[in-house]
Amino acid sequence: MDPLLVIIAVSVTLAVFSFVVGLRTARRTAMEERLASFKSERQTGPVAEAEGPVLRKRSYSGLPILSTFLGQLRGSEQVAISLERAGVPLRVGEYYLIRYAMALLFLLIPFVFSRGVFAFIFAGGLAILGYALPAMWVGSKRAARIKKMNGQITEMLGMVANSLKSGYGLMQSFEFAAKQLDPPLSTELKRMLRDANLGMSGEDALQALGERIGSTDLDMVLTAINIQRAVGGNLSEILEGVAFTMRERERIRGEITTLTSQQRMTGIIIGGLPIGMGALFMLINPDYMGLLFTETAGRLMLLTAVVLEVVGATTMKRILAIEI
C-alpha cells in the first residue's frame, strides 16, 4: 500500500475525530455544565486562595496527564481565556488537537497532485494556514462576542443605575439586569452572581467578570465602580456618566466608519482586481494562464502574488483600524 495513502487516511481520521470531539463538547446539556461548574468551583483551602479571584482550578483536557502537561505550558492559560472569551466550548487540549490535525491535513493535500519541489513549498504554506485557521476562527468569534456585549453594556448600565436609584444594592441591581438582558452578557452576569453567592467577594467577582469578557468598555465600568468604592460618591450618577461616554464613543466610531468607507471600498476593489483578472484570463485563454501552474517560475510568481495580496490586505486593515 502506498505510504502516502496511509498518511492521508490517518490525517482524515484525526480530523474527523477532532470534529466529533468538538461536537460532543458543544452538545453538553445545560444541567451537566451547571453541575460540573458547581463541582469544580466548590474548592476551598490553599489552592483556591493561591489562585486569587478564581475559585476553581482550570482543566485543560479530559485526560489528567495531558491537563497537567498543558498546565505547565506558558500559553495554555491564555489560550483557555481566549476560548472562554469567544464562547467556544472547547478545552485547550481539544483545541490544539484540532489545530495540529488541520495542519497535517493541509500539509498532505499538495502531495496528492504533485511531489516536486514546489509541492513541498506549497505544502509548508498550507500547513501554516491550516494551523492558523482555527485561531482565526476563534479570534473572529471572540471579536463578534465582545462587540455584541459592548452593545449590551450601555443598556445594562441604565438598568443598574435605575435600580440603584430605587434603593437596591449593587449586586441586586446586577441580578435585575441579568434577568432582563439577553445572552451573552446575561450569562456572564449570572456567572458573576453565582461566584459571589459561592463565597467570592464582590470585587473579586467583578474582576473575574472583566477577565472573562476582555472588553475595554466593561473595564471602564469596573474601574468606575472600584473608584467609587474607594473614594465614595453617587454610583448611579457615575454609571450614567460612563454610559453617556460609551454612547459618544459609539457615535464617533460610526462617523469614522462613514468617513473611511471610500478607502475600504478602494482597498477591496484593488485587492480583488488581480483575482478577477486572473479568473477572466483563465476563461479566455487557459493555456496562457496554465503556465502559472505548470512551470516552476510561474508557480513562484503565483506564490509571491498571493503573499503580497495578504500583506496588502493586512496593511490596509491596520491603517483603517482607528481606535477610539
pLDDT of 57 strictly over 80: no
CA 98/CA 105 separation, integer angstroms: 10
Residue in the block written with cell 452538545: 27
Greater model confidence, 18 or 301: 301
**Around Cβ 260, how many Cβ atoms within 10 Å?**
15
The answer to whether the Cα torsion of 227, 233, 234, 237 is positive or negative is negative
> How do residues 269-317 score in pLDDT, each as one tens digit?
988 888 889 889 888 888 888 888 888 888 888 888 888 988 988 888 8
Q: Can you count the helices (H) and strands (E) in the chain? A: 15, 0
Q: For 50-208, where are the E strands, in sequence order?
A: none
CA 49/CA 197 separation, integer angstroms: 17
Whether omega before 46 lies within 30 degrees of 0, making that bond cis, reads: no
**Around Cβ 149, how many Cβ atoms within 10 Å?**
21
Contact 291, 301 (CB under 8 A): no
Whole-angstrom CA distances from 87 to 58, 84, 90, 135, 145 are: 16, 5, 9, 13, 8
> How do residues 73-123 score in pLDDT, each as one tens digit?
777 888 888 888 888 888 888 899 999 999 999 888 878 777 777 778 778
Domains of the chain: 3-142 (no CATH), 145-249 (1.20.81), 260-320 (no CATH)
Q: Which amino acid is at 245?
A: T
3 state DSSP class of 308: helix
| Residues 38, 26, 141: CA angle, nearest 5 degrees | 105
* pLDDT-based confidence at residue 226 (cuts at 50, 70, 90): confident
Torsion from C-alpha of 55, 61, 63, 66, nearest 10 degrees: -100
pLDDT of 31 strictly over 70: no
Question: What's CA 123's distance to the chain center, in Å?
Answer: 27
Contacts 24+ apart (CB under 8 A), 300-304: 300/118, 303/121, 303/122, 303/125
pTM metric for this prediction: 0.68
